[in-house]
Amino acid sequence: MVNQHSVAMRIITVPVREQSWPVGTTPVVSVMCFAYNHQQYITQCLDAILEQLTDFPVEILVHDDASNDGTAAIILEYARKFPSVFKPVLQTENQHSLHRKIRPILQTHVRGNFVASCDGDDMWLDPYKLSKQVGFLRKHPEYVLSYHDAVKIDEAGRELTATYLPHTFQRDYSRDELMVLSWMLHGTIVYRNVDITFPPEYDLAPNGDNFLPILLAAHGGAKFQSEVGPLAYRQHAGGIWSQKIPAERARMHLQSYLQIASYLVRIGDAEAAKKVIMGRLSDHAWTYFGFLDTALHGQ
């Protein structure tokens, strides 16, 4: 049976790369793209964004963190070809090494009503991703964000796992649950461009992705959209996260949730802080201490 909704969507939507809007048109979606030494993958990422089928304008904010390969040159070439779409932000000094988060930098450039993001070594596989997620959020103001699943791929694009999210995490979250229980890849999220103040604890958290849903939770819940095709989440030797050994990842998660708990205590949300401490923080602490115990005492 033909899906009438899909047929209608194909009729009214056009790839971003083929769209033309009057000068000064406010984008509906601002896509944040985070790149560093992604010369091998960045064209796949940017092409997948340009192939998004929408009936609304999109801007693409591409941040290059002082790459030492050809990533910045590729980004500038896309900006030359699509000047009304691409807004490059090219650093001359690596911000990550200075312990500065990139999302707050790009947030100052956002003009869209909704925000999406994707790392330069990942790519969206569903050309209707933005249309599906924006369409849902427009109809459901009680949700501040929408997210979906991902698949893991290797350097060559071969699928490593058919799903990223465990089944128990493929669910909706109320705003209270979003404060303490969410687990999602930032490349799968589309969220409303609400007023976000990034606290000092966010800068101190090694993994800012854990923090973002908590900052958004004051504005609504989260919707898991199973009908959105997956993000291709790439694991490779040069990836900032992939190259970390398991013990280092556990330490980074632990430090991130320590900062989240500290933030919740500071703003006076004792109940949420308690849930984080007794839940995710405790889980990551046991995992990290397990690695320490193995290192100290052997198998």
CATH of the domain at 46: 3.90.550.10
What pLDDT band is residue 297 in, cutting at 50, 70 and 90? low
Last residue of a domain, one of 223, 242, 261: 242
239 has a pLDDT exceeding 70: no
112 has a pLDDT exceeding 90: yes
Higher pLDDT, 137 or 296: 137
Q: Total structural domains in the chain?
A: 2
Residues 8, 49, single domain; the answer is yes
Residues 297, 159, single domain; the answer is no
Provide the 10 A C-beta neighbour count for residue 163: 12
Residues 238, 253, single domain; the answer is no
173 secondary structure, DSSP code: B
**Mean pLDDT across the stretch 229-242?**
79
**Mean pLDDT across the stretch 97-102?**
90
Residues 115, 9, single domain; the answer is yes
Last residue of a domain, one of 195, 212, 242: 242
What pLDDT band is residue 284 in, cutting at 50, 70 and 90? confident
Last residue of a domain, one of 242, 263, 282: 242
- The tokens describing 14, both together, are 């056009």
Provide the residue type at 116 as one letter. Answer: A
Q: Give the model's pLDDT for residue 243.
A: 62
Q: Give the model's pLDDT for residue 5.
A: 44
Range of the domain at 93: 4-242
Residues 180, 46, single domain; the answer is yes
Residues 133, 11, single domain; the answer is yes
Residues 184, 56, single domain; the answer is yes
Residues 158, 185, single domain; the answer is yes
Express each pLDDT in 183-229 by its tens digit: 789 999 999 999 999 999 999 998 888 899 999 999 999 999 999 99
- The tokens describing 85, both together, are 């779409």
Residues 70, 168, single domain; the answer is yes
Residues 9, 122, single domain; the answer is yes
Closest CA to 276 of 256, 292, 250: 256
User: What value does the mean pLDDT of the chain take?
Assistant: 90
Q: Give the model's pLDDT for residue 99.
A: 86
- In terms of average pLDDT, the best of 90-94, 236-240, 283-287 is 90-94
10 has a pLDDT exceeding 60: no
3 has a pLDDT exceeding 70: no
Residues 259, 156, single domain; the answer is no
Rg of the chain (C-alpha set): 19
Higher pLDDT, 282 or 82: 82
Chain Cα centroid distance, residue 194: 16
Residue entry with tokens 């910045």: 72
What pLDDT band is residue 246 in, cutting at 50, 70 and 90? confident
Residues 237, 255, single domain; the answer is no
Express each pLDDT in 34-77 by its tens digit: 999 999 999 999 999 999 999 999 999 999 999 999 999 999 99
298 has a pLDDT exceeding 70: no
